[in-house]
């Protein structure tokens, strides 16, 4: 059975990606950290699409938790193979660097950058054996341009962009593509409180984006036909920055 693992699939962009994966015929592994109600809702939406999947909670910022939960799932499910991995889980904790606490730096880096490493390394083995895989990392405009108040988040996402390009070169011969998608402002809990009416003036498309618009691009990169696109960073930001 071919599976797709989406980290942070309980809400926002991750949920839209889970639904897209179900529409593409994948058995969807919905990862989340704490929000079981929202994760259940994602699973219900997957089933509404005629798809199937299961919840697989673990904290991507904790390598022991990843090993216990995901490592165990891989061992126990030899017949299932994670063909598509979407590293989507992420947090932000904005403050000017002058005032940033150690834990604000560490938590954001651990979630995006360490999470990418420990999850991907586990899943990669199966892809290498099958000589096929799609890895898509959700990064950010912040990791390309840098945004004030986000030295932690910009560094984490820029780190994942570098790792995306390096890993793509390591595994290209084995039928595995590795790409990143860099959203701008997308309507999810993460940007709650931002004033769209004021900020949309800066955005050529004149609005914030939707999670489904990010999921559409992820679905494209996850398709078999996208085999010659790798080490790429695709911006989805309404023309805000390129």
Residue 183 found at the interface with ligand NAP (CB under 6 A): yes
Shortest Å, Cβ 65 to ligand NAP: 8
Which range of residues in 33-41, 126-134, 162-170, 171-179 is near ligand NAP by CB under 6 A? 33-41
Residue 238 found at the interface with ligand NAP (CB under 6 A): no
* Interface pattern 82-101 for ligand NAP (x via CB under 6 A): ------xxxx----------
| Rounded Cα gap, residues 76 and 198, in angstroms | 51
Residue from 38, 124, 127, 221 touching ligand NAP (CB under 6 A): that is 38
Residue 67 found at the interface with ligand NAP (CB under 6 A): no
| Rounded Cα gap, residues 125 and 219, in angstroms | 22
Return the number of the residue (53 or 183) whose C-beta is nearest ligand NAP.
183
Gyration radius (Cα) of the chain, Å:
17
Shortest Å, Cβ 76 to ligand NAP: 20
- The per-residue b/e assignment along 145-162, b for 16 or more CB within 10 angstroms, e otherwise, is bebebbbbbbbbbbbbbe
Size of the site for ligand NAP (CB under 6 A): 30
Shortest Å, Cβ 60 to ligand NAP: 4
Scanning residues 192 to 221, which ones bind ligand NAP (CB under 6 A)? none
| Rounded Cα gap, residues 52 and 156, in angstroms | 32
**If we measure between CA atoms, which residue out of 57, 63, 52, 1 comes closest to residue 32?**
57
| Rounded Cα gap, residues 3 and 85, in angstroms | 9
Per the annotation, the verdict on 153 as an active-site residue is yes
Determine how many CB atoms are found less than 10 A away from the CB of residue 79: 5
Return the number of the residue (132 or 151) whose C-beta is nearest ligand NAP.
151
Triad 164, 167, 168: Cα angle to 5°: 80
Q: Which residues are catalytic?
A: 153
């Amino acid at each position: 059975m071919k599976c797709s693992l989406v980290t942070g699939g309980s809400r926002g962009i991750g949920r839209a990606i889970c639904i897209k994966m179900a529409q593409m015929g994948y058995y969807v592994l919905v990862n989340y950290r704490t929000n079981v109600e929202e994760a259940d809702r994602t699973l219900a939406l997957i089933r509404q699409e005629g798809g199937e999947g299961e919840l697989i909670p673990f904290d991507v910022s904790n390598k022991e938790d990843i090993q216990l939960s995901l490592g165990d799932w891989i061992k126990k499910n030899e017949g299932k193979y994670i063909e598509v991995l979407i590293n989507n889980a992420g947090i932000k904790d904005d403050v000017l660097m002058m005032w940033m606490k150690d834990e604000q730096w560490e938590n954001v880096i651990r979630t995006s950058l360490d999470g990418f490493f420990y999850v991907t390394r586990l899943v990669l083995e199966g892809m290498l054996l099958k000589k096929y895989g799609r890895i898509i990392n959700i990064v950010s405009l912040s990791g390309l341009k840098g945004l004030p108040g986000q030295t932690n988040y910009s560094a984490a996402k820029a780190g994942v962009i570098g790792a995306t390009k390096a890993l793509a070169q390591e595994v290209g011969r084995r039928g595995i593509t590795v790409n990143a998608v860099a959203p701008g402002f997308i309507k999810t809990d993460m940007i709650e409180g931002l004033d769209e009416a004021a900020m949309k003036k800066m955005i050529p498309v004149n609005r914030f984006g939707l999670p489904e618009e990010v999921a559409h691009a992820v679905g494209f990169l996850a398709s078999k036909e996208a085999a010659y696109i790798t080490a790429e960073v695709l911006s989805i930001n309404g023309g805000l920055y390129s």
